[in-house]
Amino acid sequence: MTTDLRTTDLRDAVARSLEAEQRLPALPTDWADQVHQLAAARNAVILAHNYMLPDVQDVADHVGDSLALSRIAAASDADVIVFCGVHFMAETAKILAPSKTVLIPDLDAGCSLAASIEVADVLAWKTGHPDGVVVAYVNTSAAIKAEVDVCCTSSNAADVVRSIPEGKQIFFLPDQFLGAHVRRVTGRDIDVWAGECHVHAEISPSDLRATLAANPDADLLVHPECGCTTTALYLTTTGDLPAGRTKVLSTGGMVEYARDTKASRVLVATETGILHQLRKLNDSTDFMPVSARAVCPYMKMITPAKLLRSLTDNVFEVDVDPVTAARARQSVERMIEIGSPSRGGE
Ligand code: 13P
Ligand code: SF4
């Protein structure tokens, strides 16, 4: 069963997801043990993105960013992958591991960024630039991935662009803030699609300035999808923010940073689910969100009760038609070959 993310309206999706949760039996107190037993019986691996609810992160076999989870899916010898994340992530796992059963606990877990571009938009650019190279952020549907030359995540986007021969025209899609960041750090001439993630776009320059004013000595970690990325980097050039204490990183890069930092307070500009991983890794640093409103409603659809149902009822299977998957696999495999796993952006 698949869903068309472009026609999924956020409000309807949230309502459906809540209703589905209410219809489920009460969560047993030993739900985490049941999840582990069911997963062992089916040779299933549970992958969870860094934005998952804390309980879901804690029960998973692996927690990580988009690139790390794609690499784990590709290398896994499990028969079943239960993807606790959003739909494009589960689709990417299916593209990389076509013989495995890939389950997502709620099919309504879409992504506003992935829904911000259509296949026709990509084809239109390609028609106008027959020798150009199209780079797609992994937050895209399988149908888009099948039309592009190479995919990337926030962890390796700049490295992917640097791997393209100089002089080629480049189209980067669909995130305008990540695209602007990649253009800035690589110095390449890039056409950028004006899409955005509604959660990260709303972490605004004014949120950033207010949080920084209240915490002038804190370090700052910014996800490149944020609406405040350009402001953060501008403030490093004016001296309002020390360059050495400001990092633009994927969620995996933030986790690596948290492992080693000695800072007493760190401000974090991304979806707030990441705070659980950061605090678990390092309890002597105070990790604070730049915006407490930055909560992805799609990510939060994956609840413990739905994860348990996923394993008991074998739902919801994510499928990608084989022709689309074969074309998309080339661009996704290029993505997982580029960039060091622990680099986490720049
Ligand atoms: P990363 O985990 O790759 O940083 O991506 C964040 C994201 O937007 C997932 O939806
Ligand atoms: Fe998509 Fe944004 Fe949610 Fe990530 S945080 S899944 S980009 S809507």
The pLDDT tens digits of the residues spanning 134-177 come to: 999 999 999 999 999 999 999 899 999 999 999 999 999 999 99
Q: How many helices (H) and strands (E) does the chain have?
A: 16, 12
Ligand 2 contact, 250 CB (< 6 A): no
CB 245 within 8 A of CB 272: no
C-alpha to C-alpha distance for 194 and 190, rounded to whole angstroms: 12
Which numbered atom of ligand 2 lies nearest the CA of 175? 7
Residue whose CA is at the smallest distance from ligand 1 atom 10: 139
pLDDT at residue 275 in the model:
98
CB-based burial label for 344 (10 Å; 0-12, 13-18, 19+): buried
Q: How far is the CA of 128 from the centre of ligand 1 (A)?
A: 30
The DSSP element (H or E) to which 44 belongs, if any, is: strand 44-49
Q: How far is the CA of 343 from the centre of ligand 2 (A)?
A: 21
Q: How far is the CA of 90 from the centre of ligand 2 (A)?
A: 14
Among all chains, which residue has been given the structure tokens 């950033």?
208
CB-based burial label for 77 (10 Å; 0-12, 13-18, 19+): exposed
Ligand 2 contact, 231 CB (< 6 A): no
User: Residue 37: CB partners within 8 Å, gap ≥ 6?
Assistant: none
- Note the pTM of the prediction, 2 decimals: 0.94
Strand partners, 53: none
In testing the pocket of ligand 1, which one of 251, 256, 276 has its CB within 8 Å of the most ligand atoms?
251
CATH 3.40.50.10470 matches 114-195: no
User: Which CATH number is associated with domain 203-289?
Assistant: 3.40.50.10800
C-alpha to C-alpha distance for 15 and 232, rounded to whole angstroms: 35
DSSP state of 18: H
CB 190 within 8 A of CB 182: yes
Q: What is the DSSP string of 5-42?
A: GGG--HHHHHHHHHHHHHHSPPPPTTHHHHHHHHHHHT
pLDDT at residue 346 in the model:
66
Query: Smallest Cα–Cα separation from 145: which of 91, 197, 99, 199?
Result: 91
Alpha-helical segments (H) within 105-156: 119-128, 142-145
- Could you report the per-residue pLDDT of 78-130, keeping only the tens digit for each? 999 999 999 999 999 999 999 999 999 999 999 999 999 999 999 999 999 99
pLDDT at residue 343 in the model:
60
* CATH fold of 5-111+298-321: Rossmann fold (3.40.50)
pLDDT at residue 169 in the model:
97
CB-based burial label for 206 (10 Å; 0-12, 13-18, 19+): exposed
CA within 13 Å, CB half, 208: 28
Domain limits, CATH 3.40.50.10800, in the chain: 5-111+298-321, 114-195, 203-289
pLDDT at residue 236 in the model:
87
Q: How far is the CA of 252 from the centre of ligand 1 (A)?
A: 9
pLDDT at residue 161 in the model:
97
pLDDT at residue 89 in the model:
96
CB 5 within 8 A of CB 115: yes
Residues of the chain with pLDDT under 50: 1-7
pLDDT at residue 6 in the model:
44
C-alpha to C-alpha distance for 126 and 131, rounded to whole angstroms: 8
